[in-house]
């Protein structure tokens, strides 16, 4: 019975929403060679994460008459991780009119740009920092520049020109952009080769509410200072301070969560992954770390299970 509850507890962590606080910073980066890891959603199957996301597990489950006889083993999560994400392009988070000699002109609206658009290239140059975008705009002296913009998963071309600001004495784009963000997540599990998942939801932009598209990222240790309790329709939030020393890489930020690899394997309990078909309603456990800094176990009840859900919400606790 204890082993079954441990299995259910692990699976409930894997499939339940992860506590995450999104806090934003402004940082720069130059290395964009990180491999593109695509997230397709878990749909209640840890095997999907293994095959499509991490692809680094070495023990594959054997199946006999539809039943798994060899279970994958992972290390238990429940501890916080600091997340520093560097955008793949720059995200438009706001616009404002420019005070020109002909009155106030909203250059973004005039060009058809929207909040949430991701500027990938300007005149063919891949841009990744706020400072580079500002310099290109200022040095265009009002001439038309060609933007490649990602919107709703599609790349579009936009012709854009800045306007001369009377008050500031320089050409301005009239757009606010963000090139990086940071947050705190809870590790769901860690594979024996160091690859980990913080499942539940992506890190989203605080202004646009959209998933932050990343080119690369890194994880750090974090000191938890408090939390706010989750309510229906809104995930709880962890509050804390990210440490400066890097402890691993972040590979993907998608609808089902954040994926990366630690430099050193955490020393936590190793447990088998429960296939979705054996998870039942009833008593279970979840693990997380609050402001006392200690990972603790909490009793929950699995109320309902929907293995066919398409929104990454397979289980209600």
What's the CA dihedral at 51, 54, 56, 60 to 10 degrees?
Answer: -30
Which pLDDT does position 199 carry in this prediction?
A: 85
- Regarding whether 74 and 116 lie in a shared domain, the answer is no
Nearest to 82 by CA among 290, 280, 238: 238
Cα–Cα distance measured from residue 177 to residue 180, given in angstroms and rounded to the nearest whole number: 10
C-alpha neighbours within 13 Å on the C-beta side of residue 107: 24
Write down which residue in 173, 196, 215 finishes a domain. Answer: 173
CATH number at residue 119: 2.30.42.10
- Among residues 130, 132, 240, 134, the alpha carbon closest in space to that of 180 is found at 130
| Closest by Cα among 5, 231, 206 to 116 | 206
Distance CA 269, CA 208 (A): 38
pLDDT recorded at residue 203: 80
The range of the structural domain enclosing residue 259 comes to 2-85+180-316
Give the whole-angstrom CA distance, residue 157 versus residue 10. Answer: 46
Q: Chunked in runs of 10, what are the mean pLDDT values of the chain (317 residues)?
A: 37 32 28 29 38 41 36 84 88 91 91 92 92 88 92 92 91 89 88 86 76 84 85 79 91 85 89 82 88 84 87 80
The answer to the question of residue 90 being in a domain is no
Shared domain for 210 and 302, answered yes or no, is yes
Name the nearest CA neighbour of 277 among 39, 63, 2, 16.
Answer: 63
Helices of type H across the chain: 2-15, 46-48, 107-111, 130-139
Per-residue model confidence (pLDDT) at position 187: 92
Could you say which of 140, 158, 173 is where a domain stops?
Answer: 173
| Contact between residue 121 and residue 147 where contact means Cβ atoms under 8 Å apart | yes
Number of domains in the chain: 2
Do 209 and 253 fall within a single domain? yes
Closest C-alpha among 316, 245, 242 to residue 279: 316
What's the pTM?
0.66
């Amino acid at each position: 019975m204890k082993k079954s509850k441990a299995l259910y507890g692990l699976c409930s962590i894997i499939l339940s929403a992860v506590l995450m606080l999104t806090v934003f910073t402004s940082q720069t980066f130059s290395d964009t060679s990180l491999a593109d890891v695509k997230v397709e959603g878990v749909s209640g199957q840890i095997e999907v994460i293994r095959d499509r996301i991490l692809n680094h597990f070495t023990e594959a489950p054997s199946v006999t008459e539809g039943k798994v006889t060899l279970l994958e083993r992972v290390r238990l999560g429940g501890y916080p991780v600091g997340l520093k994400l560097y955008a793949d392009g720059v995200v438009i988070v706001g616009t404002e009119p420019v005070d020109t000699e002909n009155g106030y002109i909203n250059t973004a609206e005039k060009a058809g740009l929207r909040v949430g658009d991701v500027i990938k290239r300007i005149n063919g140059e891949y841009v990744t920092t706020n400072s580079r975008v500002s310099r290109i705009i200022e040095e265009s002296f009002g001439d038309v520049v060609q933007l490649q913009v990602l919107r709703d998963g599609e790349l579009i071309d936009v012709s854009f020109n800045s306007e001369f600001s009377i008050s500031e004495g320089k050409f301005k784009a009239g757009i606010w952009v963000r090139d990086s963000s940071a947050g705190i997540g809870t590790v769901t599990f860690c594979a024996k080769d160091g690859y980990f998942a913080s499942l539940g939801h992506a890190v989203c932009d605080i202004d646009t509410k959209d998933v932050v598209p990343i080119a690369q990222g890194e994880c750090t240790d974090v000191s938890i200072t408090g939390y706010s309790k989750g309510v229906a329709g809104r995930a709880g939030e962890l509050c804390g301070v990210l440490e400066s020393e890097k402890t691993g890489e972040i590979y993907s930020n998608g609808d089902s969560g954040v994926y990366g690899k630690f430099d050193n394997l955490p020393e936590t309990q190793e447990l088998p992954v429960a296939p979705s078909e054996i998870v039942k309603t009833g008593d279970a456990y979840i693990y997380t770390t609050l402001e006392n800094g200690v990972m603790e176990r909490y009793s929950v009840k699995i109320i309902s299970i929907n293995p066919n859900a398409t929104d990454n919400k397979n289980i209600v606790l």
